[in-house]
Homo-oligomer: A and B are copies of this chain.
Amino acid sequence: MGENSVFKSEADFIAWIRRKPPRQVAGLTLGIGDDAALVTVPPGQELILTTDMSIEGVHFTAALHPPQSVGHRALARSLSDIAAMGGTPRYVLLSLAISPSTTRAWLKGFFDGLFALARRFGVAVIGGDTAVAKGPIVADAIVAGVVPLGRALRRSGARPGDQIFVTGRLGMAALGLRLLDSRARIRTPTQRAALRAHLFPQPQCALGRFLSEHRLANAMMDLSDGLSIDLKRLCDASGIGANLFANRIPAAPHLDAEDALALALHGGEDYQLLFTVSAAKSAEIPRHFGRIPIHGIGEIRAATGLDMVTPNGKTISIETRGYDHFARAARR
């Protein structure tokens, strides 16, 4: 670890972290500094637990991603899982393995990004683990949230006849990554929005909670690996299939239509919500939630499989090719 780059000891590092995050949120009995953290779950609530790793060279690169973005995205991935259950995030534990060459400036940037997002969602950093190891930086963000008993929205609740909805514009994060990768100069508002969608995705916790509280959705998940693979996961969990309409899928504007559709179907890391609503209730879904557009893109059917009606009226089978770590490694 370089000279002016490190904390002298783990105690020094922990002392620094303890000064930064929101220190108190509902239910927190004991935060950072003991063998474990202690929290209470209010009566009538269930606890939601999720964890997501962010690994240098897989989920981010030192060359392309500012550390603020790495910290933001590490936490956003897990917050989005809480959103996908219809819950409220409360606590985060962070396991962080840095390399001997990680600089103090990088660490400060990383925590600035993570803490800013934590503050905005009222989430307290209550524990974690740290290590220095040769190899890529690995951040594992563990988030605990709460949801009223029995109200969590699962992937398995979709029923034939349900309408399928998504939030936001899909493929924007993938477009942002493409722009970042190409080191293209960012000129247009769409390009700026795409870059922001990739570097600083916004978990849809308020909307997830709204759908749970009003019992509007039958099934929900977040879009982390791409619509095609994630919708297949929802369909598999529910034992049903789906028909989509290509021209209803909200894709990136100002792009070749085919390119935009491919990004919307297979681009990952949008962290928008995918949910299904019974036909009877689908009229109650607003077209916007705050500034977030909501689009009906298709319908759940009894027969398994994913089909899509193309703009010219043909029905084609949707290929699932979002991100899969193991499949990607196997293809190499």
- Taking Cβ atoms with an 8 Å cutoff, the residues of A that contact B are 1, 6-13, 29-30, 33-41, 43, 46-53, 55, 57-59, 81-82, 84-85, 87, 91, 93, 95, 97, 100, 126-136, 138, 140, 142, 144-145, 147, 149, 152, 154-156, 221-222, 233, 237, 324-330, 332
Contact = CB atoms under 8 A, between A and B. Distances in A.
Contact of A154 (B34, B147, B221): B34
Contact of A127 (B39, B50, B91, B328): B50
Contact of A136 (B7, B135, B332): B135
Contact of A328 (B13, B132, B152): B132
Contacts of A222: 35
Given A35-B81, A40-B149, A9 B324 contact: yes
8 contacts: A6-B330, A10-B327, A37-B49, A47-B47, A51-B129, A95-B140, A130-B325, A132-B328
Contacts of A13: 326
A49 B93 contact: yes
A57 B127 CA distance: 24
A247 B155 CA distance: 60
Contacts of A33: 155, 237
A324 B11 CA distance: 9
B155 A35 contact: yes
Given A8-B330, A35-B81, A329-B100, A51 B128 contact: yes
B57 A133 contact: yes
B326 A7 contact: yes
